[in-house]
Structure formats: structure tokens, C-alpha cells
Amino acid sequence: MLNFLSRFFKPKPDEPKSMLTAQQACAIAEHAVEGSAWVGLMTFSTLKREGDKLIWEVVSATIGAGIIVLIDDATGAVISRKKLHGR
């Protein structure tokens, strides 16, 4: 029983140290979608590790169709923009 409960109370692994803040990543994503319908909607960001790189995934705050912008944390460069299509 103690083993079962200990799984819920283990300390979480340390968050990776990023060069960019979540706000900076959102600002870069905003610039990447400038001139489109997604401007002003790039608000959800998550820092992920892919191999030895840290990648920001910034997603539009929309229901259905949207866009995902991937940003390299070390350089601030946009890696990709991918449109999501609803239904």
C-alpha cells in the first residue's frame, strides 16, 4: 500500500532550463503568424524536450481549426507552423 501511495508523492523531475520565457515564445509565434487570422490568439505554450533540444510548442486559443508553432528554445527560430483543421 505504501508503494502505491508513494507514486503520487514523488518529487517531479526538474523542469528544463529554457532560454526563452513562455511569454517570449508566444510573442515569437505571434510574429510567425502575422498577417493571418491567428494574430492575437497564440496564447498556450508548452516547453518540450526532443532529444537534446528544447522546443516550445505554441498553440492558438481556438476551438476546432487552429495553428501550432514550434520554436527552438536555444535560437528562438521558428521550426514549423502547422494548421489544425476542425472536424
Give the fold, CATH level 3, of 18-84.
Answer: Nuclear Transport Factor 2; Chain: A, (3.10.450)
> Phi/psi at 38 (nearest 5 deg)?
-90, -5
pLDDT at residue 35, rounded to an integer: 79
pLDDT at residue 34, rounded to an integer: 85
Listed by start position, the domains of the chain span 18-84
Return d(Cα 36, Cα 56) in angstroms, integer: 20
Which pLDDT band holds residue 47 (cuts at 50, 70, 90)? Answer: very high
Q: What grid cell was written down for 11?
A: 518529487
Which pLDDT band holds residue 54 (cuts at 50, 70, 90)? Answer: very high
- Model pTM? 0.76
